[in-house]
Chain A
Amino acid sequence: MITKRIIPCLDVRDGRVVKGKNFVGIRDIDDPVKLGRRYNAEGADELVFYDITASSEGRKLFIDVLERVASEIFIPLTVGGGIDTIDDFSRVLKAGADKVSVNSGAIRNPSLIGEAARKYGDQCVVLSMDIKRVDGKFTVFGKGGRENTGLDAIEWAKRGFSEGAGELVVNSIDTDGVREGFDMEMLEAISSVVDIPVVASGGAGKAEHFVALFKRLPSIDAGLAAGIFHNEEVAIFDVKRRLREEGVNVRL
């Protein structure tokens, strides 16, 4: 059987990995290639790189980082950030990405999902959603979590699935950086309306949070985190060992 995946996420700005809390207060962490190497050795099942730079200079640095990582780390690489067109897909795929994650670009132009799925296969297209509760309703935010799009998250997940996305990443803005566990209520609501892999993101603070995630929500395929892995508070190997002890199928 296919295993549950543990995925570290690296936000890259100007060639460096950075991390903020609740999507703000960004600080510098490390060299992406060095971190990628460490995660690969610790047993990460996949690496996600988000390009959070806005400048063209930063974009070039990001491609350079991606090529360096893909030249020495041979596990699946997902890339997101600033993916607005088919040309953006092509640009990162050529530099070694296996999957491409769309977010604001797909909100502006939902047909981008289907267009990319037809050209590169649905396994290649990941729809990443930043979601926050607004008046008790799960609502999609754009522009790195800064802009309320007014879109209903359940409807948007269904739309992404029917357009041809091969995977969903569900980031809870409400639990991001809080480290008290994944947003179970949100994850359950989203994963029950799609029939593709769902990656949970936002809120992991310790290994037990991953155990709770996969035990309570067997339909979730992967858990993603950043800060707790970056600062070595939690080792990926320990998370996977705990999961195996609890009977969750993981690659060890």
Chain B
Amino acid sequence: MIAVIDYGVGNLFSLTASLKAIGADSVLTGDKAEISRADKIILPGVGAFGDAKRSLDERGLTDFIIGEAEGGKPLLGICLGMQLLHEASCEYGFCKGLGLIPGKVGPLREAANGLKVPAMGWNALKIVKECPILKYTSDGEYVYYVHSYFVPKGDYTAAYSEYGVCVSGVTWSKNVFGAQFHPEKSGNTGLKILEAFKEL
């Protein structure tokens, strides 16, 4: 069972439907007991970093999710959910993240050399590490991004895309994974990434 964290952020229709399409049992929930019972966690999210973090804090979910991940449960953050797994972001002022994957979130506008922001569209994924959630993905496959902030390519980047700068597509530390793109909107490539996560 995969617990998709429901904390009042974003539209989860496609994520829920894509998990169903790959035959994964999932539950949309903000309830700690239910999250505890699940064997995997997905942290989704769209919108602003600070608002989303506050929303997790208010529901008492920040430390709880950190505890679950530190206990070894596989955790996948998607889009803003991925950014939240990192140390901090400077979106509308400094804000601390969950700190489960090293690295900080920065604004794309200053880095992307005059390209349009938000970056929105399909981009090729360049794989730099053998990562468990990319076991069915080949170098150069396309995934769908929508974002204005990003984690620069670094030691914990498993795959990246180029958008005037090297943008982390997948970040990874132990049992914690982040996808800056939307696997639930990336066609078969995305479904295969979700499938690899399901099989962990």
Q: Which of A1, A67, A93, A221 lies in contact with B163, CB distance below 8 A?
A: A1
Q: Which of B13, B118, B123, B184 lies in contact with A1, CB distance below 8 A?
A: B123
Q: Which of A96, A167, A196 lies in contact with B17, CB distance below 8 A?
A: A96
Contact residues of B between 1 and 60, Cβ < 8 Å to A: 11, 13-14, 17-18, 20-21, 46-47
CB–CB B14/A93 < 8 A: no
CB–CB B13/A122 < 8 A: no
Interface of A is mostly: loop
CB–CB A2/B17 < 8 A: no
The proximity string for A residues 117-145 relative to B, scoring 1 for CB distances below 8 Å and 0 otherwise, is: 00001110000000000000000000000
B145 at the interface (CB under 8 A from A): yes
Chain A residue at smallest Cβ distance from B46? A121
B122 at the interface (CB under 8 A from A): yes
The proximity string for B residues 114-125 relative to A, scoring 1 for CB distances below 8 Å and 0 otherwise, is: 011011111110
Q: Assess A123 versus B120: contact at CB under 8 Å? Given A74-B18, A74-B21, A74-B187.
A: yes
Q: Which of B116, B122, B163 lies in contact with A251, CB distance below 8 A?
A: B122
Contacts of A76 in B (CB 8 A): 144, 185
Q: How far is the CB of B21 from chain A (nearest CB, A)?
A: 7
CB–CB B185/A98 < 8 A: yes
Given contacts A3-B121, A70-B17, list 9 more A-B pairs with CB under 8 A. Answer: A1-B162, A3-B122, A74-B14, A74-B190, A76-B144, A96-B13, A123-B118, A123-B120, A251-B122
Query: Can you list 26 A-B contacts with CB-CB less than 8 angstroms, sorted by A residue number?
Result: A1-B123, A1-B124, A2-B119, A2-B120, A3-B123, A5-B121, A40-B187, A70-B13, A71-B21, A72-B17, A72-B21, A74-B17, A74-B184, A74-B185, A74-B187, A74-B191, A75-B185, A96-B13, A121-B118, A122-B118, A123-B118, A123-B146, A196-B116, A197-B116, A197-B121, A251-B142
Enumerate chain A interface residues (CB-CB to B < 8 A): 1-3, 5, 40, 45, 67, 70-72, 74-76, 93-96, 98, 121-123, 166-167, 195-197, 221, 251
The 9 closest A-B pairs by CB, nearest first: A2-B121, A251-B142, A96-B13, A251-B122, A71-B17, A123-B118, A3-B122, A123-B146, A93-B11
